Amino acid sequence: MGIRSLFGSLRGKIIGKNLKIVFPEGSDERVLRAATRLKFEGLIEPIILGEPQVIRETLDMIGFADLNYIIINPEEYDGFDEMKAAFLEIRKDKVTPEEADELLHDVNYFGVMLVKMGLANGMVSGAMHSTAATVRPALQIIKTKPGVSRTSGVFLMSRETTEQRLVFADCAINVDPNAQQLAEIAVNTADTAKIFNLDPKVAMLSFSTKGSAKAPQVEKVQEALQLAKEARPDLAIDGELQFDAAFVPGTAALKAPGSDVAGQANVFIFPDLQSGNIGYKIAQRLGMFEAIGPILQGLNQPVNDLSRGSSAEDIYKLAIITATQAIDDDE
């Protein structure tokens, strides 16, 4: 299934469900182009944050001013006192009322609170903000799912010419995860892969294959593999594997004979953020893969982070994924 077919399938899941996704960066034209397209196609109901007059002027400029949008200015929100009380309850003994006032005038904190209070199903931000500015309020307010110690960032890698779809993690959040954290990332990423209609075959990547090298970094991956297998014995997962052994059938036959994952992996777990971030960008720039994400996983409700270089098309696609995550979380 190519990327067009994939997103056709995802659109079919969310259309007509009246899912509300918050876009905190309403002053950004790319965000508004994506939000208007999503509303026009009946896929989601965007909640756009910002100064209404500025937003409506941009909407008029791009030719979509006639649709009835939900636009909220956090500075003039009627439900601010209720939101502040809820925030203070969540952050009990960690922030003062004065600090809460200041934080909730930050569009990302405000947007995450809309999700937490059930007024929205998810949030997409990061076109104008750093990853930390998007993720921090999500971790403080929405928090991670039971049994998950931290969130992680996944990229869907797709190449239309070959109809290849791969999932890479963690490429965005955890700098140097320990074995337990790496196992969690592997299990969570396998579940995320299913959103994209993949039957996950998970490769735990290393510079070693099946003990070909000895080092503490290799031992970490080996331990993570065992922990992941114990947590999810049903999962097709193997390691430690070099990328060629994980991806190329001929190399897999030589380096990891008998493996049910080597040579056919579609989910790749990198041992640390350096390798994950470098790896996805090499695939994107040299391999001509489209990199969609980062898609955050492990949160109780979906909040996703854009690259500041995102196009309107990137934002559109990540919003569809966010809405799909919201449906899956409810099921």
Show the DSSP H helices in the chain as ranges: 3-14, 29-40, 52-62, 80-90, 97-103, 107-116, 131-137, 179-195, 216-231, 243-247, 249-255, 273-285, 312-330
- The rounded distance, in Å, linking the Cα atoms of 192 and 165 is 13
Domains, the chain, ordered by start:
3-143+300-330 (3.40.50.10950), 152-285 (3.40.50.10750)
pLDDT tens digits for 67-95?
789 999 999 999 999 999 999 999 998 99
DSSP 110-175: HHHHHHHTTS-SEEEE-SSS-HHHHHHHIIIII-BPTT--S-EEEEEEEETTTTEEEEEE-SSS-S
Summarize the confidence of residues 157-167 as an average pLDDT. Answer: 84
Summarize the confidence of residues 244-260 as an average pLDDT. Answer: 96
The DSSP letter of residue 79 is T
Percentage, residues of the chain above pLDDT 90? 81
Mean pLDDT of the chain: 93
Q: Is the pLDDT of residue 123 over 60?
A: yes
pLDDT value for 98: 95
Long-range interactions of 212-219: CB distance < 8 A, separation 24+: 212/242, 212/255, 217/271
pLDDT value for 39: 94
pLDDT tens digits for 169-188?
999 999 999 999 999 999 99
Q: Could you identify the residue written with the tokens 């899912």?
A: 19
Q: Is the pLDDT of residue 121 over 70?
A: yes
Q: Is the pLDDT of residue 331 over 60?
A: no
pLDDT tens digits for 283-306?
999 999 989 888 999 999 999 998
- How long a stretch of residues is the chain? 331
pLDDT tens digits for 42-60?
999 999 999 999 999 999 9
Phi and psi for 269 in degrees, rounded to 5?
A: -105, 115
pLDDT tens digits for 174-226?
999 999 999 999 999 999 999 998 999 999 999 999 999 999 999 999 999 99
Long-range interactions of 133-136: CB distance < 8 A, separation 24+: 133/106, 133/108, 134/108, 134/303, 134/305, 134/306, 135/173, 135/296, 135/303, 135/305, 136/108
pLDDT value for 7: 84
pLDDT value for 330: 60
pLDDT tens digits for 263-273?
999 999 999 99
pLDDT-derived band at 3, boundaries 50, 70, 90: low
pLDDT-derived band at 2, boundaries 50, 70, 90: low
Q: Is the pLDDT of residue 126 over 60?
A: yes
- The rounded distance, in Å, linking the Cα atoms of 19 and 276 is 32
Q: Is the pLDDT of residue 167 over 90?
A: yes
Q: Is the pLDDT of residue 4 over 90?
A: no
pLDDT tens digits for 30-42?
999 999 999 999 9
- The rounded distance, in Å, linking the Cα atoms of 226 and 237 is 10
- The rounded distance, in Å, linking the Cα atoms of 67 and 46 is 11
Name the pTM for this structure: 0.89
pLDDT value for 272: 98
pLDDT value for 113: 98
